Amino acid sequence: MAAVRANVRPFKTLDLYPTRSAPPRTCTRFRCSVAAPPRPRSYSVTLLPGDGIGPEVVSVAKDVLSVAGSHEGIEFRFRVMPIGGVAIDSVGVPLPEETLAAAKESDAVLLGAIGGYKWDGNEKHLKPETGLLQLRAGLGVFANLRPAAVLPQLVDSSTLKKEVAEGVDIMVVRELTGGIYFGKPRGFGTNDKGEDTGFNTEVYSASEIDRLARVAFEVARKRRGKLCSVDKANVLEASMLWRKRVTMLASEFSDVQLSHMYVDNAAMQLIRDPKQFDTIVTNNIFGDILSDEASMLTGSIGMLPSASVGESGPGLFEPIHGSAPDIAGQDKANPLATVLSAAMLLRYGLGEEKAAKRIEAAVMETLNRGFRTGDIISTGMTLVGCKRMGEEVLSSIDSQKALTASL
C-alpha cells in the first residue's frame, strides 16, 4: 500500500502538525526537561461500528490502533456511537444527533459498515445510507481518497492476468458532497404525455472543483507526480467547467503531470492498462463507479480502505466494502480494509506517520506469514477468521523492531 500524505493548506485534516519554531530549552544541573519521558499524545476517536460485519471489523481495528499507538507514545479515547440500521432500530433515525455531535467533537471518526436487507424497504429518510450521507455533510468532508494497490502477496487473487495486475497502485480522489447526488432540483414529476418522470441535477461551482483539485494535485505530488482528471466534457456542461478549472489550477503544480480522460474511456483503460494511472480525480458519481471498479483490480474489496477529509474538523475513515449481512456474526469477515483505514486515520487525520506505517507493515507481515480470510484464500495459505486475523496483525505489531527515524 503506497504511503502518501497530502500536505494541503488550508485543509487542517491533512496538515495538523506544521513545524513550529520554539525557544531553546535550558537545563539545570539537577533537572532537565529534555530528559523527562515524553507525555503520551492523546486523541479522541469516535467509533461507528454500524451494521452487519461492521462491529466485527471495527473491534479488530480498535485493538490495532491501541497497540500500534502504544508503541509510538499515543493514547486513544474511544467512544462508540450508533449509525445506520442499528440507529434506526434503537432511536428511529439513521444518524442520531448525539452521534453527529460526538463525531464533530472527536479528532477522527472510524466507521465500519451500514445497511442490510432488513432496511431495504424503508423510505429514503429512514434508510441506513441516508445516515452516511448526513454524516459526510455534517462533518464537511468533501474529498474521498481511495487507494487501490495490488499487493504482491495477493496478485493471484485479481481477476486480471498477473502481468496486467502486478504493480498496480492507484489513488482515486473523489468529490464527495456535490454533483448529481446532491444537486437541485431533483424529484419526481409528470411530462407532457402524462408519464411519470424522475430527475436529478449535476451541478458544480468553481470553488467546489478547485478545493478538490488542490487536494488531488497535492496527493499526486506526494506519489508519482501524475494526475488524470476524469470527466465527460464532450457532453456535460458541468464537466466542461470541471476541465476548465482543473486545467487552470495545473499552473500552480508544475511538478505534476496533468492529463484528461473521458469517463467511458477511463472505465475501459482501468481494465486494459491500469498501471498507466497514478492519481485520478473526478466528480461524485464518476468517482463512485470508478473507485469500485479500481477496487476489484486488487482481487478483494475486503482489502481496501478509504479516507474522507474536509477543510477543518475530523476526517471520516472507513473500509469501502459493505455490511455483508450474509456473513455477519460468523467470524468470516476480512478486517484488513478497516485496519488499513485505521492507518489512513493516523496518517491523514492525525499526522501520525510512524504509527500508520507500523500498521501497514504489520498487515504486510501477516500476509507474508500466509494468513488469509476466505475472500483472499489461495492454495497453501492458512484460512483464518476475522478475530484470528486481527490477532495475527497484533502479533506482527508486537514483534516489530523499533522503526527507524527515517520513517
**CATH number of the domain bearing residue 324:** 3.40.718.10
pTM of the entire predicted model:
0.83
- End position of a domain, from candidates 225, 255, 284: 284
What separation in angstroms does the CA of 151 have from each of 220, 297, 345? 20, 11, 20
SS3 129: helix
- One-letter amino acid identity for 142? F
Identify whether 396 is part of a domain: yes
3-class SS of residue 186:
coil
Q: Which residues of the chain have pLDDT under 70?
A: 1-40, 401-407
Single residue among 284, 313, 335 that ends a domain in this structure: 284
384 is written with which cell numbers?
A: 483464518
Q: Are residues 274 and 197 in the same domain?
A: yes
Establish if 264 belongs to a structural domain.
yes
Helix (H) or strand (E) holding 259: strand 257-262
Shared domain check, 308 and 359:
yes
DSSP-assigned states of every residue in 371-399: EE-GGG--TTSEE--HHHHHHHHHHHHHH
User: Of these residues, 12, 181, 210, 275, which one is catalytic?
Assistant: 181
From 314, 321, 356, 361, select the one nearest 338 (Cα to Cα). 321
Residue (of 162, 62, 45) closest to 106 by Cα position: 45
In this prediction, residue 298 carries a pLDDT of: 87
Choosing from 264, 273, 326, 398, which is the catalytic residue? Answer: 264
Q: What is the pLDDT of residues 14-45, one digit of tens each?
A: 332 233 333 333 333 333 333 445 566 999 99
Q: Please tell me which residue in 278, 288, 332, 354 is annotated as part of the active site.
A: 288
The pLDDT of residue 158: 86
Name the domain boundary from 284, 309, 335.
Answer: 284
Return the C-alpha cell found at 190: 409528470
What is the number of helices (H) and of strands (E) in the chain? 12, 14
Domain assignment present for 352: yes
Q: What is the CATH number of the domain that holds 277?
A: 3.40.50
> What is the reported pLDDT for 157?
83
Please check whether residue 22 lies inside any domain of the structure: no
Does one domain contain both 256 and 302? no
Per residue in 62-102, pLDDT tens?
999 999 999 999 999 999 999 999 999 999 999 999 999 99
Domains of the chain: total: 2
| Domain-embedded: residue 8 | no
Domain that holds residue 256: 169-284
Q: What is the pLDDT of residue 301?
A: 83
Instruction: Give the distance from CA 285 to its chain's centroid.
Output: 16
User: pLDDT by residue (tens digit) across 190-201?
Assistant: 999 999 999 999
Query: Is 328 found in the same domain as 267?
Result: no
Position 406 in a domain: yes
From the candidates 43, 169, 204, 232, give the one annotated as an active-site residue: 232
Same domain (yes/no): 179, 254: yes
Nearest to 259 by CA among 276, 240, 271: 276
Question: What are the φ/ψ torsions at residue 136 (nearest 5 degrees)?
Answer: -60, -45
Catalytic, 210? Answer: no
* Res 1: pLDDT: 43
End-to-end CA distance of the chain: 15
With b meaning 16 or more CB within 10 Å and e meaning fewer, what string describes 142-176?
Answer: bbbbbbbbbbebbbebbebeeebbeebbbbbbbbb
CA dist 60 and 48 (Å) reads: 13
**Residue 174 resides in a domain:** yes
For this structure, is 181 an active site residue?
yes
Amino acid at 229: S
Given the residues 15, 210, 292, 331, select the one marked as catalytic.
292
Task: List phi, psi (to 5°) of 383.
Answer: -80, 125
